[in-house]
Amino acid sequence: MPVLILARHAKAEPNGPTDFERSLSATGLAQAVEAGAEIAERWSPEVAIASAARRTTQTGQAVVEAVNRVTGGDLELVLDESLYGGGVEDWMDAIRSIPAAATCAYIVGHQPTVAEVVGHLSADAGVPESFRPSSLAVFDLPSWDVEPGAYPIPEVMSFRGI
């Protein structure tokens, strides 16, 4: 049974040279490490995709490093420029890119789109009212062939970076 983990990047600095170049704050770095440890212990993704923005790549890289420490593997973060400023269909393209043999995949991006994707995938869950920085929506799927709208209600969790 495959697992799909959709994530919002950890807490970012309020300013940067551009929005695209904003980095994670100290709290955000701690959140990303905490989330990475949890993901590595519980699921160990074989696919990791991130928006190309700095804060999402930093968040995704913390997850990749945690997974590789736990598994001894060589998971690499794939950057997807369409996830920055893109819509639900861009996320669906990323989901469709997951190899059929993968047992777990992690995708990290931005609000409000990530919450919209959760609602698009799971009609029963709907769009989460609050999907704060460093939140995850974890879908346990019977297969990768589940149609959007028919995904089960995900487990939603947030990390505080404590």
Share of the chain above pLDDT 90, in %: 98
The answer to whether the beta carbons of residues 159 and 10 sit under 8 Å apart is: yes
Domains and CATH numbers, the chain: 3-158 (3.40.50.1240)
Q: What pLDDT shows up at residue 68?
A: 97
> Cβ atoms within 10 A of the Cβ of 15, count?
10
> Cβ atoms within 10 A of the Cβ of 145, count?
8
pLDDT band at 23 (very low <50, low <70, confident <90, very high): very high
pLDDT band at 13 (very low <50, low <70, confident <90, very high): very high
- Mean pLDDT for 46-56 is 98
pLDDT band at 64 (very low <50, low <70, confident <90, very high): very high
Around 157, how many Cα atoms within 13 Å sit in the side-chain half-sphere?
A: 15
Q: What pLDDT shows up at residue 161?
A: 80
Q: What is the mean pLDDT of the chain?
A: 97
| Sequence-separated (6 or more) residues with CB below 8 Å from residue 25 | 11, 12, 13
pLDDT band at 100 (very low <50, low <70, confident <90, very high): very high
pTM for the full model? Answer: 0.97
> Residue 162: pLDDT above 90?
no
Q: What pLDDT shows up at residue 48?
A: 98
